[in-house]
Amino acid sequence: MAAFFFSPTLSLYGSLCSYPARPTSKMARKGVSRFGVSVPRQLLEEFDGRIARMGYDRSKAIQLAMRDFMTEYVWKYEERGLAIGTMTIIYDHEVRGLEETLTSTQHAHRDVTSSALHIHLDERNCLLVIVLRGEVRAIREAAGKLMGKRGIKQLKLTIAILERQGAGKRVN
Ligand code: NI
């Protein structure tokens, strides 16, 4: 982990945007902003390799990543209202106490855990898909109980907001 933080960094600034050094009036009219970002060299190399295969340049890829980030995280920290979704978990069932934690968490948060599907992937690993429905705040709390637990190899939340609190309008 330390390697990540102490890796040499490169600036994305140079080729982040192909605009001239000073904003032109045309650029200002389009509402485009430039910014500099420092990232670990290894991360940048991997990023460049992947986006090249996908046919994106850095500007486009970073815009997509920023939008994904907002979709993914805004609901987790800001949204209030009614939502549906799934929590997909891949875990090692041999880790002591983990299955009990997964079950007790679902019991404790039965107001938002509608149902669950369990598939035994191989000798050790299981896939658990929990269907969620309820207040975003309660879903967030249930997910928070499991995030970072030892033995959970992957935890992915997919949420759609049905009704924003105060808005009274269905968006999905
Ligand atoms: Ni299993």
What pLDDT digit, counting tens, does each position of 47-65 carry? 999 999 999 999 999 999 8
pLDDT at residue 27 is higher than 90? no
Tokens of 147: 């995030």
Q: Which residues surround ligand 1, an ion (CB under 5 A)?
A: 120, 126
Q: 124 C-alpha to center of ligand 1: Å?
A: 8
Is-contact 159 143, C-beta < 8 A?
Answer: no
Q: 139 C-alpha to center of ligand 1: Å?
A: 23
| CB under 8 A, 24+ apart: contacts of 33-36 | 36/11, 36/12
What pLDDT digit, counting tens, does each position of 96-127 carry? 999 999 999 999 999 999 999 999 999 999 99
Q: 125 C-alpha to center of ligand 1: Å?
A: 6
Say what the pLDDT of residue 80 is: 78
Name the residue among 60, 54, 58 with its Cα closest to residue 10: 58
What pLDDT digit, counting tens, does each position of 78-102 carry? 667 888 999 999 999 999 999 999 9
Q: Do you know the residue count of the chain?
A: 172
Go through the domains of the chain in sequence order and give each one's CATH number: 9-76 (no CATH), 80-164 (3.30.70.1150)
Q: 28 C-alpha to center of ligand 1: Å?
A: 56
More confidently predicted of 111 and 167: 111
User: The pTM is what?
Assistant: 0.58
Q: 98 C-alpha to center of ligand 1: Å?
A: 12
Name the residue among 73, 59, 72 with its Cα closest to residue 30: 59
